[in-house]
Structure 1
Amino acid sequence: MGIHHGAILRILRDDGPQSRAELARRTALSPTALTHLTAQLLKDGSVTELSQNVGAGAAVGRPAISVALVPESQFVVGVHLGAGTIHATITDLKAAPKTMASLHFDTDSTEPKVVIGRVVKTVQGLIGKTGIARSRLLGLGLGVPGPVDTERRRNLQSINYDWKDVPFADELEAALGMPVVVEHNVSAMALAESRYGIGRDADALLYIYLRTGLGAGLVVHGMPFRPGGHGAVELGHIQVVEHGERCTCGSIGCLETFLSERALSRAAHIDKPHPKNLLAAVEHYPEVWDAAVRHLTTAIASATNLLNPDLIVFGGHLAEAPDSFVDAIRRNVPPRVLPPMRDALRFERSSLEAGAGAIGGAAAALDHLFYSGVPR
């Protein structure tokens, strides 16, 4: 594949079937070049031709032919590695899941190689379950908790695991025999929401995800924002009080000391790990609830003034939060941002539901291995 193949495929992904003339116009390619490129895509099965119906009274002649993406011509694996969780899926070329799996494990005694082994076993199980031929699997996208290197090969650091510089791509490629791309997990979710979910029309999408910690990912004009090339937007480590609890990152008074599974579960007297409807339980404790709303409002307002998103998407526990929580954020943030942003700013729950992390991994794989135009 080449860069022009990628441009054609992205147009077909985002806007549906197109005539060759329209594709040539939009890619600035000559009709001859466009015909040559689409012939290659037709040969490998990535696209197909569709005959358009000719309306009554139209000129008699050959029916118009459009080119369309074939979503199930090839597939990718998506994996989300959270704190104590692995979620995995196999999706088609539009990130629609064919199957999913998940498991939990103890973070206190798990070394990277053990987690990698569990990922491999989970992925092999999904491949066997679907019966998809290995030749139709483009590769794997892995979302990890923490920043990644600029080549998308390594997890540079994970506070929850106390890991540093874990070579996930090398290990998984050797074990599974397929290309692997590594991405910050919430950045991958933001990418999936921007490409395939509720954020397709947003210029700048900020995805905020609450599980073990509070993470964020930003996509601007369809491109993931990677500060320093590493991808992580550490919203949970904004200091919201000057004198507070010590955070797992080593600082004091971070947002995560108020808004994380550990902090909220402790305040609501919940002992079960990864509880469902966590914020609904917290609503019965007004002091904890008010602090969570107040500090998240401060963090979102600060992020909005700095990054100018027009859409903020809530994932994880925030996607499951009571309407009263989301309504409070919708009400309290706009007065604290600059006037031009107030009218444009929208708040929505994630449209990707429970599989957001794994679909995020798949979206990263699709971007890198299929729609980029980079040879594979």
Structure 2
Amino acid sequence: MNKVVRGSFELMKQLNVSAVLKVIRDNGSLSRADVAKITGLTPASVTNITKMLIEDEYLVECKVGQSSGGRPPIMLELNPNARYVIGISIGVGMIDVVITNLSAEIILKKSIEINEERYDYDFVFKELVKLINEVIECSKIEKEKILGAGVALHGIVNSRTGMSIYSPYYGWKEINIKEALENELNLGVYVDNDVRAMALGESWFGITKDISNFVTLNISNGIGAGIIINNKPYYGVDFSAGEIGHIVVEGDGDKCNCGNYGCLETVASNNNITKKAIKLIKQGTNSVLKELKADINQLTIEDISEAAKLEDELAISIIKEAARYIGIAITNLINILNPTSIVVVGEIFENTFYAIETLNEIVKNRGMKLSSENVRIIKSMLGRDAAVVGATTLVIQEIFNGMSIN
């Protein structure tokens, strides 16, 4: 058999294995006959593939199905604990590392804060590797059962090469995170922008599993959007699609870390929401926040959300103002992309309805009638784990989309 034919044959076997895994995952449990019917593979091929997958523990025989006249079929289902995946989120000032099973269920999670003065790459990478090894050790999961690691990274990321093209908060440029981590961990590593990874995680394991066109919007210390079109992430020509945080919403606004002025991040990111609250309180504005925090300089976005829940006027007005700016940016996205849903992630959406209520109001009043009437603005099911679940999905999708398994 020549090299080309042999390579094609191996790929076909891998694709067939993934096809079987995917159809069983998507349907919950199936008989071998059902698998053959849905995939178009021969019964003999399905028997051989499922035998191998059972031996490798990816599939289990779960129950006896209903007979249609002959011997009752044995049903097969995915064993989510057959293998495990590491998920890494490198966000603004925070690194989260988890280990999950193949259903993206978190087994263990550890986090560290990265002080703004220590954003240099060597320090961050050293702390990251230490945290990953700690998670693996504490989980007591054998390294051989870990399929790979996914990284959801702040900034502009080339998902094909795993390169951090530009990370504005960390000041990184042209750093190959994929290569560095693969050398360190001896595992396959997949890297993407954090909000694109969130959108992928929502598509596989979150609230949009049955939605093929949607946008995930993340409001944190940075602001970004992950765009899914026909069930696939949209990257743009230079992998910078979705940088909604740098849409100018205030013509004479403050300078943004990107170098421009009046970007959405300067008025609606967590850091800037808290800065505004601190400023107004110091100027004498009454607020329950004074009682929630002894040192007002240590105020957090969680404090402001909690105060809004307690009907504090200052907190409510600040959240609504940020949401109005976000709503303007979302309206532009809706008018251009006409998605089914906007999935919102962030602390300002977690404990209070004021932010989503304001978004809906702005979209209804400013958007084109047809697209704004039909779009749904919904809260993420994954919440604060959206980035790490998205990171694990970068690896998990490879198993079900035609890659080889171990």
Q: TM-score, normalized by length of structure 1?
A: 0.92
Partner of 1:23: 35
- Structure 1 CA distance for aligned equivalents of residues 21 and 68 of structure 2: 30
Partner of 2:289: none
The reply on whether 1:89 has 2:98 as its aligned counterpart is yes
Aligned mate of 1:235, from 244, 248, 256: 244
Partner of 1:308: 338
- Structure 2 CA distance for aligned equivalents of residues 287 and 51 of structure 1: 56
Aligned pairs (5 A) from 1:312-351: 312-320=342-350, 322-351=352-381
Aligned mate of 2:185, from 173, 176, 193: 176
The reply on whether 1:276 has 2:286 as its aligned counterpart is no
Partner of 1:52: 64
CA deviation digits over 1:194-236, x for unaligned, max 9? 1001111112121111111111112223222211262641111
Aligned mate of 2:401, from 352, 367, 372: 372
- Structure 2 CA distance for aligned equivalents of residues 280 and 288 of structure 1: 13
Contact 2:304–2:315 (CA<8 Å) still a contact in 1? Answer: no
- Structure 1 CA distance for aligned equivalents of residues 145 and 35 of structure 2: 26
- Structure 1 CA distance for aligned equivalents of residues 304 and 199 of structure 2: 22
- Structure 1 CA distance for aligned equivalents of residues 387 and 303 of structure 2: 18
CA deviation digits over 1:135-181, x for unaligned, max 9? 10001001100121242411111111111011111111121121111
Amino acid at match of 2:395: A
Q: TM-score, normalized by length of structure 2?
A: 0.85
Contact 2:119–2:171 (CA<8 Å) still a contact in 1? Answer: no
The reply on whether 1:139 has 2:148 as its aligned counterpart is yes
Partner of 1:115: 124
Unpaired runs of 5+ residues, structure 2, are 1-12, 279-295
Offset of 1:186 from its aligned partner?
1.0
Amino acid at match of 1:256: E
Partner of 1:9: 21
- Structure 2 CA distance for aligned equivalents of residues 173 and 28 of structure 1: 36
Contact 2:328–2:362 (CA<8 Å) still a contact in 1? Answer: no
- Structure 2 CA distance for aligned equivalents of residues 48 and 308 of structure 1: 42
- Structure 2 CA distance for aligned equivalents of residues 35 and 277 of structure 1: 57
Aligned pairs (5 A) from 1:149-228: 149-228=158-237
CA deviation digits over 1:45-100, x for unaligned, max 9? 2112233354xxx6664222222111000000001001110111100001011111
Contact 1:150–1:229 (CA<8 Å) still a contact in 2? Answer: no
Structure 1 pair 280–255 and aligned structure 2 pair: CA distance change class (3 A): farther
- Structure 2 CA distance for aligned equivalents of residues 172 and 132 of structure 1: 19
Aligned mate of 1:355, from 372, 379, 385: 385
Partner SS state of residue 257, structure 2: coil
- Structure 1 CA distance for aligned equivalents of residues 161 and 347 of structure 2: 27
Amino acid at match of 1:375: S
Partner of 1:295: 325
Contact 2:324–2:358 (CA<8 Å) still a contact in 1? Answer: no
Partner of 2:8: none
Offset of 1:6 from its aligned partner?
2.0
Q: CA RMSD in A?
A: 2.2
Unpaired runs of 5+ residues, structure 1, are none
- Structure 1 CA distance for aligned equivalents of residues 384 and 191 of structure 2: 20
- Structure 2 CA distance for aligned equivalents of residues 19 and 352 of structure 1: 32
Contact 2:305–2:315 (CA<8 Å) still a contact in 1? Answer: no
- Structure 2 CA distance for aligned equivalents of residues 52 and 334 of structure 1: 52
Q: Relative to structure 2, which stretch is displaced further, 334-343 or 304-313?
A: 334-343
Contact 1:141–1:180 (CA<8 Å) still a contact in 2? Answer: yes
- Structure 1 CA distance for aligned equivalents of residues 129 and 86 of structure 2: 11
Structure 1 pair 262–52 and aligned structure 2 pair: CA distance change class (3 A): same
Contact 1:79–1:142 (CA<8 Å) still a contact in 2? Answer: yes
The reply on whether 1:39 has 2:51 as its aligned counterpart is yes
Contact 2:334–2:372 (CA<8 Å) still a contact in 1? Answer: no
Partner of 1:106: 115
Contact 1:225–1:231 (CA<8 Å) still a contact in 2? Answer: no
Amino acid at match of 1:299: A
CA deviation digits over 1:116-140, x for unaligned, max 9? 1111111111111111111100010
- Structure 2 CA distance for aligned equivalents of residues 231 and 373 of structure 1: 27
Percent identity for Structure 1 against Structure 2 = 29
Partner of 1:148: 157
Amino acid at match of 2:112: L
- Structure 2 CA distance for aligned equivalents of residues 280 and 152 of structure 1: 41
- Structure 2 CA distance for aligned equivalents of residues 231 and 21 of structure 1: 45
Aligned mate of 1:64, from 73, 84, 101: 73
Contact 1:13–1:94 (CA<8 Å) still a contact in 2? Answer: no
Aligned length: 372
Partner SS state of residue 331, structure 2: helix
Larger CA Rg, structure 1 vs 2: 2
- Structure 2 CA distance for aligned equivalents of residues 8 and 38 of structure 1: 8
Offset of 1:344 from its aligned partner?
3.1
Offset of 1:12 from its aligned partner?
2.4
Offset of 1:275 from its aligned partner?
3.8
